[in-house]
Amino acid sequence: MDAYKSIREAIILGRYEPGMRLGEETLARELNLSRTPIREAIKQLEAEGLVVPFKRGVGVRNFTKEDIKEIYDLRSLLESYAASQAAINRTEEDLDLLLTANQLYEAAIHRHIEDDLQSISNIVKMNSKFHDGIVTAAKNKHLFFHISKVVVVPMVFRSFYWYTDFQLRQSLEVHKTIFQAIQNQEPERARIAMHEHIFRGRDNVLKHFDEIKEAVK
């Protein structure tokens, strides 16, 4: 695993805690790499918003409740728009990819083990595959750039960490509704379903906000 992927995964899983300073020398020693790939990885992570500048160096970004509300508000606007456009512009190939992504998501949910980080990480990856497929189907080359700025993966991961089995199955059913709306070319139905889907994720993060902050201390 390269420097970028290693540091990113450590941030997502909470091994590098919010507010923690990330020193190039320390990371290079820990990952057994030179400082050049570490420096490049930090630049990429900073562009994604996962790390922020400190007075000296950079550190893992910390989030407030207000940050979460604002981020998820933007996600809802962008991803619900993407879903509506996907319903208009999707191809048969797009539908095949979305169906496969949803099947993989369902399989990951069935294999879910509570509190198991690898299990949750797999669910998050399959969830992202479905959401990315919708953006692809929307046929708007600018959407990926803007959505990538507001899909904060650590928050998504921690949202899923606190999902019950019932909530995971509920999430899958919403995915199926979104897929059906896109398949049937019903843009408004796709938009509304995605809007609600994103806000459920937001509500779960906010509900467990204090526990999440405690868990990563």
What's the pLDDT tens digit per position in 100-117? 999 999 999 999 877 688
Query: Do the Cβ atoms of 3 and 41 come closer than 8 Å?
Result: yes
Residue 196: CB atoms within 10 Å: 14
Per-residue pLDDT tens over the stretch 34-75? 999 999 999 999 888 888 898 888 999 888 889 889 989 999
Token pair, residue 14, equals 């909470």
- Rounded to two decimals, what is the model's pTM? 0.81
Instruction: State both tokens at 69.
Output: 């509300």
Q: Label residue 197 by pLDDT band (50, 70, 90).
A: very high
- Distance from C-alpha of 31 to C-alpha of 39, rounded to nearest angstrom: 13
